[in-house]
């Protein structure tokens, strides 16, 4: 069944920073882990660097058969639900996850948070040079549109405008050498996570509401979190020169690019961190539900790479995404609380009582994750905010490890980890959702 296909879990690295504690336990419940030791010595760093260099060499070396990305891209984008690519993690898939993570990181690097700046809460740079300014001049993509979102929250916030904020960008692989290497023309949409106060309040609107994005097929059983939906659909059209909704901006640009490149092999890739991954999943579902990805000669594959993402909708939303062929790769840290929200208690794990009785009322009111899950395990008691930090996710993905371990967490160990999280929270300054 499709639901089983979307459940494989692989832990990419187990990193626990806890002083001299060499017996730190993982938070796994029998998942597969790739273990990375802490307290790394200079010799160990050299080994890790050598492994990374070997991996990069392997990825850039011409391969036989269908291993090169240009011949293998559909599988890497999830055409077979990443079967046999996560255990162990295929080097090409690892590289693509890192690459898309860096496109998301560019959103944070380019976002202007200086209240004295004329570009406050907007991108610091123009579209033509944004990727260059954040160190991605050789990525082979061109930014075609900036995306703004308007939280539908009418509360006063000190030093923060209530108008639309820059939330991400649309780009397309434009360099012909990049297109050849990728094996297709890639349409990319990248979203940052929560930064502003209005966005934080929007995230707290944890209630399910019917999505109703397709007027010809309302499907009231498909429900999503109201705050994310509001951020996706709210606009400023009542104001003179006001912005269209995030949704209208995105659908218009995606449609334009699909029409422009319709005779080519195409892919639609969405990438986001935290709240941004929720917007990525809503857009992926929206495009597929409306059938915008259907051209004259093919159905363009839609893939979302989610970094530290929360749940977005109910089980019917999950099922509909699967029916529409939306592929989602969720990269999560087991210690990241955001990945357990909303629906910390009412979620996909509580739909069946005793493994025998379906509970329809829970199915309608609970949340469910969508997609294949790659699990990381890292924690720093001195800096708990790292559990949700995108740069930490990316940095650990860049460090290849080879040893597989299977671990089970006992109840006492869960209590120890909970105690660490509680006391560590005293030094938690911020976690960007």
Residue written as token pair 């209005």: 198
Q: Which residues pair with 232 in a beta bridge?
A: none
**373 found inside a domain:** yes
Calpha distance 63→61 (Å, rounded): 6
Q: For position 65, what pLDDT does the model report?
A: 37
**61 found inside a domain:** no
Q: For position 342, what pLDDT does the model report?
A: 85
Strand order in 32-35's β-sheet?
141-149, 165-173, 185-191, 266-273, 302-307, 327-333, 372-380, 9-17, 32-35, 404-406
Q: Which residues pair with 304 in a beta bridge?
A: 270, 328
Calpha distance 196→165 (Å, rounded): 9
Give the side-chain half-sphere CA count within 13 A for 184: 20
Name which of 353, 388, 160, 120 is nearest 275 in CA terms. Answer: 388
Which residues in the chain show pLDDT less than 50?
1-8, 13, 17-66, 155, 157-161, 199-203, 353-357, 402-432
Report how far Cα 274 is from the mean position of its chain's Cα atoms. Answer: 6
Q: Tokens representing 101?
A: 């993570």
- CATH assignment at residue 227: 3.40.50.1820
Summarised one tens digit per residue, pLDDT across range 90-123 is 999 999 999 999 999 999 999 999 999 999 999 9
**58 found inside a domain:** no
Q: For position 185, what pLDDT does the model report?
A: 97
Instruction: Decide if 336 is catalytic.
Output: yes
Summarised one tens digit per residue, pLDDT across range 7-37 is 445 555 455 544 434 333 333 222 333 333 3
**154 found inside a domain:** yes
Q: What is the pTM of this model?
A: 0.78
Q: Which helix (H) or strand (E) holds 148?
A: strand 141-149
Q: For residue 270, what are the domain limits? A: 69-400
Q: For position 400, what pLDDT does the model report?
A: 62
Q: For position 341, what pLDDT does the model report?
A: 85
**48 found inside a domain:** no
Calpha distance 392→105 (Å, rounded): 11
Q: Count the domains in the chain.
A: 1
**47 found inside a domain:** no
CB neighbour list of residue 10: distance below 8 Å, 6 or more residues apart: 31, 32, 34, 86, 87, 88, 89, 374, 375
**342 found inside a domain:** yes
Catalytic residue among 26, 245, 267, 274: 274
Q: For position 297, what pLDDT does the model report?
A: 83
Instruction: Decide if 114 is catalytic.
Output: no
DSSP three-state, residue 374: strand
**297 found inside a domain:** yes
Catalytic residue among 152, 186, 235, 336: 336
Name which of 318, 378, 374, 281 is nearest 93 in CA terms. Answer: 374
Summarised one tens digit per residue, pLDDT across range 43-66 is 333 333 334 444 444 444 434 334
Name which of 163, 166, 158, 161 is nearest 108 in CA terms. Answer: 166
């Amino acid at each position: 069944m499709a639901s089983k296909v979307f459940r494989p879990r692989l832990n990419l690295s187990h990193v626990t920073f806890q002083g001299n504690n060499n017996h730190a336990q993982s938070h796994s419940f029998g998942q597969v882990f790739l273990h990375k030791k802490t307290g790394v010595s200079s010799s160990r760093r050299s080994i890790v660097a050598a492994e990374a260099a070997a991996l990069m060499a392997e990825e850039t070396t011409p391969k036989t058969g269908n291993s090169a990305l240009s011949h293998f891209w559909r599988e890497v984008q999830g055409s077979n639900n990443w079967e046999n690519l996560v255990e162990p993690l295929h080097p090409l898939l690892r590289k693509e996850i890192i690459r898309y993570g860096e496109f998301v990181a560019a959103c944070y690097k380019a976002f202007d948070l200086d209240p004295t700046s004329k570009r406050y809460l907007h991108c610091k740079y123009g579209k033509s040079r944004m990727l260059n300014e954040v160190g991605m001049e050789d990525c082979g993509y061109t930014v075609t549109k900036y995306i703004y979102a308007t939280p539908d929250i009418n509360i006063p916030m000190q030093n923060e405008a209530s108008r639309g904020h820059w939330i991400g960008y649309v780009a397309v692989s434009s360099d012909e050498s990049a297109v050849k290497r990728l094996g297709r023309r890639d349409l990319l949409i990248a979203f940052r996570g929560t930064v502003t106060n209005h966005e934080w309040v929007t995230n707290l609107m944890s209630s399910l509401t019917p999505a109703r994005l397709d007027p010809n097929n309302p499907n009231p059983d498909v429900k999503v979190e109201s705050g994310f939906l509001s951020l996706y659909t709210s606009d400023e059209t009542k104001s003179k020169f006001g912005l269209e909704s995030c949704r209208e901006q995105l659908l218009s640009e995606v449609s334009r690019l699909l029409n422009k490149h319709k005779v080519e092999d195409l892919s639609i890739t969405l990438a986001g961190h935290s709240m941004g991954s929720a917007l990525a999943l809503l857009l992926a579902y929206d495009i597929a539900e409306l059938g915008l990805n259907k051209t004259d000669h093919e159905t363009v594959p839609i893939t979302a790479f989610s970094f530290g993402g929360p749940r977005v909708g109910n089980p019917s939303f999950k099922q509909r995404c699967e029916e529409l062929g939306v592929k989602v790769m969720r990269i999560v840290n087991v210690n990241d609380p955001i990945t357990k929200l909303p629906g910390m208690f009412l979620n996909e794990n509580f739909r069946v009582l005793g493994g025998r009785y379906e509970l329809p009322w829970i199915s309608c009111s609970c949340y469910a994750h969508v997609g294949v899950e790659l699990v990381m395990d890292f924690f720093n008691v001195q800096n708990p905010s790292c559990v949700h930090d995108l740069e930490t996710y990316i940095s650990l993905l860049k460090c290849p490890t080879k040893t597989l371990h299977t671990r089970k967490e006992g109840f006492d160990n869960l209590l120890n980890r909970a105690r660490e999280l509680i006391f560590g929270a005293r030094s938690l300054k911020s976690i960007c959702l």
